[in-house]
Amino acid sequence: MNATDGTGSGTVRERRKALLEREIKDKACTLFARKGFDGTSLTDIADAVGLSRAAIYYYFENKEALLEAIVTEVSERPVQTLLASRDTASDDPVAELRQAVRRQVVGTLERQVLMQMIAVTEAALPPALAARHIASKRRYLEDCRRIIRDGIRAGVFRPVDDRVAALAVIGMAAWTAQWYSPDRPPAAAELADIIGDMAVRTLEADRGEAPAASVEALLEGMRDQIARLERML
């Protein structure tokens, strides 16, 4: 009979296995980010976790399978979160964009090392895995574009190129993985609110001025908002 933890969430052995898998992924991410995928061996990962190389094979068939598990988590989770949030999405594009950006920042900082690793290894992904990763990114991009188009049609966002705007907003949120430090303010949740508000302010239509539809105007507005954030930090 298996011992349980009393919560109905699975056996103690299953929970330990899940925790060790998580630790293997985390250590692998750190090493991949620092040394690259090709420069990291399973022995390096095993040493970092405190296991033998043979023990790693109990959890992952090989280094490629470990990378696939990590990339799947990184690329598919944001899409799943975004799609799941549609049931509670607001009819207000401003509120929807703010919340989408906020969720992206929070998710990025919760998996900061993973996101840093992707930036290093993305170009070296095996073709099939790269295709899945790109497909997930495109789905996320298309939903962000849809939010921005809704805002343009409603007159609350300036009539900008929705693809450029979505890429700029996503990039601003994703870049937090490269520079955010939990050791100094603001806290992750507060930063998510700040960047969500920045994204909205960059796109909001100014009723007192003629709309600026050019890509240059959009990027200039984004640069102004980023400069404000740098001063705050």
Distance CA 116, CA 104 (A): 15
Using only the alpha carbons of the chain, give its radius of gyration.
Answer: 21
Domain of 125, in residue numbers: 66-232
Token digits of residue 213:
């539809």
Q: Examine the domain organization and report whether 33 and 114 are in the same domain.
A: no
What does the pLDDT read at residue 197?
95
Q: What does the DSSP 8-state code read for residue 157?
A: B
Count how many residues are written for the chain.
233
pLDDT range class, residue 5, cuts 50, 70, 90? very low
Q: Cβ(33)–Cβ(116) under 8 Å?
A: yes
Here the CATH number for the domain that contains residue 47 is 1.10.10.60
Token digits of residue 37:
């995928």
DSSP secondary structure string, 58-95?
Answer: HH-SSHHHHHHHHHHHHHHHHHHHHHHGGGG--S-HHH
Q: Examine the domain organization and report whether 112 and 149 are in the same domain.
A: yes
Overall number of domains in the chain: 2
Q: Examine the domain organization and report whether 128 and 216 are in the same domain.
A: yes
Q: What does the DSSP 8-state code read for residue 104?
A: H
Tell whether 2 is covered by a domain. no
Token digits of residue 169:
């907003």
Tell whether 167 is covered by a domain. yes
Quick: pLDDT tens for 139-173: 889 999 999 999 999 999 999 999 999 999 999 99
pTM, entire model: 0.71
Q: Examine the domain organization and report whether 133 and 211 are in the same domain.
A: yes
DSSP secondary structure string, 25-58?
Answer: HHHHHHHHHHH-STT--HHHHHHHHT--HHHHHH
How wide is the angle at C-alpha 170 spanned by C-alphas 166 and 172, nearest 5°?
Answer: 120
Here the CATH number for the domain that contains residue 128 is 1.10.357.10
Q: Examine the domain organization and report whether 139 and 31 are in the same domain.
A: no
Percent of the residues in the chain that have a pLDDT greater than 70, as a whole number: 78
What does the pLDDT read at residue 87?
56
Average pLDDT, the chain: 82
Quick: pLDDT tens for 68-123: 888 887 776 666 666 655 555 568 999 999 999 999 999 889 888 888 888 778 87
Tell whether 34 is covered by a domain. yes
Q: Which amino acid is at 157?
A: F
Q: What are phi and psi of 204, to 5 degrees?
A: -60, 140
Q: Examine the domain organization and report whether 209 and 144 are in the same domain.
A: yes
Last residue of a domain, one of 38, 60, 82: 60
Q: Examine the domain organization and report whether 140 and 212 are in the same domain.
A: yes
Q: Measured on CA atoms in the order 72, 17, 108, 41, is the torsion positive or negative?
A: negative
